[in-house]
Structure 1
Amino acid sequence: MSEIPIHIRHCILYEFQLGNNATTAARNICAALGEGAVAVRTCRDWFKRFREGDMSLEDHNPRLTTRELSAMLGCYQSIIDRHLHEMGKVNKLETWVPHQLTSNNIQQIVTGDEKWVLYVNHTRKHQWVNPEDLPEPEPKNDLHPKNVMLSIWWDCEGIIYWELLPPNTMIDSKLYWQQLQN
């Protein structure tokens, strides 16, 4: 369901047994364990599970195959398939990631990119005119408009460096290194 420590799950169960609602439970747990210890949505999910009679604090393994489930329950695999389908479940393959990113990893990521920026960037706009009148003409952009290369670097907090590159500048690792030093 969610990756929260078992002691917080015990707190959620305790709040449920006290008769509190999920919002009050989340507020009480955050007051005791610190801001952001548990989200209201997480408490709602666990409360729903408790109301349905499942008082287990362990997450169910969503990666069991229908073959494993049929062996555990002693029934045909086709019955498992049908019931999962009736419950609205679909079989999806997880995506591969090189490694699990932590918030600290995300804060250390610096991304760079380049973009051609036009000196003149005309955009066509609708005009309100009388039905018999013609709209004001807009000159068509040149086939090769004058532009400049923008090199920009940013992290999770925003832009950390940008530079308009002189014409015919070669973009390579030396330029990147120089920009990151600034």
Structure 2
Amino acid sequence: MLADNNKLKAIVEADDSQTTVALAAAFEVSTKTILVHLRQISKVKKLEKWVPHELNERQREIRVETCFALLNRHTNEGTFNRIVTCDEKCILFDNRKRSASWLDPGSVPKQCPKRKMTLRK
């Protein structure tokens, strides 16, 4: 068993993004033992919070102009004029994972921006 919860707490507070496997290797115990002791020192695992990208003024203007153009196009043209068919399939692909941190139950997780979605065939 892990002898000192204070030592574990100091290590986790120094770097809260460590995995239970890394902590178990450092203390030479099983991951279940680490999880029990993390629960004893009241640490919970929280994922980073997604936040939107910060846009500069020009990017905001372009988005507003695009929205107005799409709204005008929708009201002025018929829906069937814009249907396109093809024989290939495109998939939106984003494989980014949020990192997790060991935090106190009431604390707020870190924020990370969402990456742009790209087309991949």
TM over 0.5, yes or no? no
Q: Report the TM-score when normalising by structure 1.
A: 0.23
Q: Which has the larger radius of gyration?
A: 1
TM-score, scaled relative to structure 2: 0.33
